[in-house]
Structures are given as C-alpha cells and as structure tokens.
Amino acid sequence: MRQLISLLIYIVMGIPLIIVGLLFVTSVILIPSKMNTFGRLTSISVLKLLFVNLKINGTIPTDRPMILMFNHSSFIDPFLFAYASPGKTTGITAVENYKYPVFGWMLKKWRAIPIDRTHISKAKQSIKKGEEALADGYNVIILPEGTRTVNGKIRKFKKGGFHMAVNINAPILPIGSKGAYEFKPKNRWYIKPGPVSLNVGKIIEPEEFQKIGINGLVENVRNQFHELTDYKLEE
C-alpha cells in the first residue's frame, strides 16, 4: 500500500514539481540577484508537494559567514539545506552533479563549488574556492560524509572542509538532519511521508581549532551529528 501511495504521489505531483522548477529557472534568469530567495521559495514548495513536514529547531546565525555542516541521507537534502540556510549561501558538491542538465545549471547559478574527489590537486583547488566564498561573505554548506548514507548511520568524514575552516578561521556549525533518511533513503524507490527536522548544533569557534586539531574537529562534528539525530556512527 505504501508503495502504491508513493507511486501516486510521484504521478500526481510530477506536473506541479515541473511547474515549480520552470518558475524557479525563469525567476533566476530574470532576477539573478534574488537567486537565494527564489531557491528557498522553490525548496519549501517542493517539500510541501512531497508532503515533508519540516521543522527547524534552533537558529542559524546571520552575523558572520560560517561553514554549515549537514549529514547527508536523502535526495531531498538539497531542498532542506537551501531552505534553512540564511543570507548568501553556497556549497561544495560532487563534480558529477554538474552533469545533470537543469540541476547542473542551477548549481552554477547558485555559485556551487564542484569538487573532484578522485584528484587531490583539483580537490585542493575547490577547497581554495570555498575559502574565497567565505571571505566574500558567503556561508558554505559542506556534507562531510561526501555521499548519502546507505544504512542510516553517520558515515566516516572527508577532512577537506575542516582544513578549509582552519585555513581561514571560519566557524563551523553542525546541523543534524533527522527523518530525511526515513522519508527516502538511497536504496529505496518509494517515499514515506513524515516529519523531518533540522536540528542546529553548537558552533565550533576558531579559538578551539588549535586546541583540538583536525581530528578533534572531526570527532566533535560526528558526535554532534549523533546527538542531534540519534543516528549511530559508522565505525
């Protein structure tokens, strides 16, 4: 029955989702300076159409740019993150995502930074671009797991985002996404509508970087993800 309901949702909501996407593309072409505003409006529209009941617990500061770190568990994550992130925001994403015609175009407009994890030198260049975005006043979204979890556990982290934070003394704010995995995990085709929450953690200030080092930062964010989501940590 749940699979049938999901199929009906995909069919019935397909046309509205296409319309929302076209409105977003048109708006960005006409008024590119309002990209982030249109992105948030589009994101909440998509989430509503998919029957995602989103709640944000806590407040993301807007007084300074910072690195926003989210756990990654579902295809709806980009819509969750775009809606929740205030002010000027961009993010680092896998270079493969630019291959999708419309999505790739949206990423370019959003000033998203592609990263090729198979080439160390290119990955370092992406980290440098992230530092430049922070210096320009942008929040930078990073998914330290690198890809979606397949079992609901918090995956081991890539360390590039942590080096970025240390290099430019940018504060790190962990934000735990809970419920998106249950809604639609990577290895299941049908959705399970229900509550999804974004739980804002504690800022890790640059003053703490020297005290705990890169490995300490990784451990801090992983532990916060666990506390914010109740998801287990992958060993």
Question: Taking 60 as the threshold, does the pLDDT of residue 162 lie above it?
Answer: yes
Q: Give 15-61 pLDDT, tens digit per residue.
A: 555 555 555 556 555 555 666 676 777 888 888 888 899 999 999 99
Rounded Cα gap, residues 201 and 56, in angstroms = 11
Ranges of each domain in the chain: 53-229
Is the predicted pLDDT of residue 12 greater than 60, yes or no? Answer: no
Q: How far is CA 210 from CA 33, 204, 207, 217, in A?
A: 38, 12, 7, 10
- pTM here is 0.86
Fold of 53-229: Glycerol-3-phosphate (1)-acyltransferase (3.40.1130)
CA 150 vs CA 3, 132, 190, 205, 233: distances in Å = 19, 33, 15, 31, 13
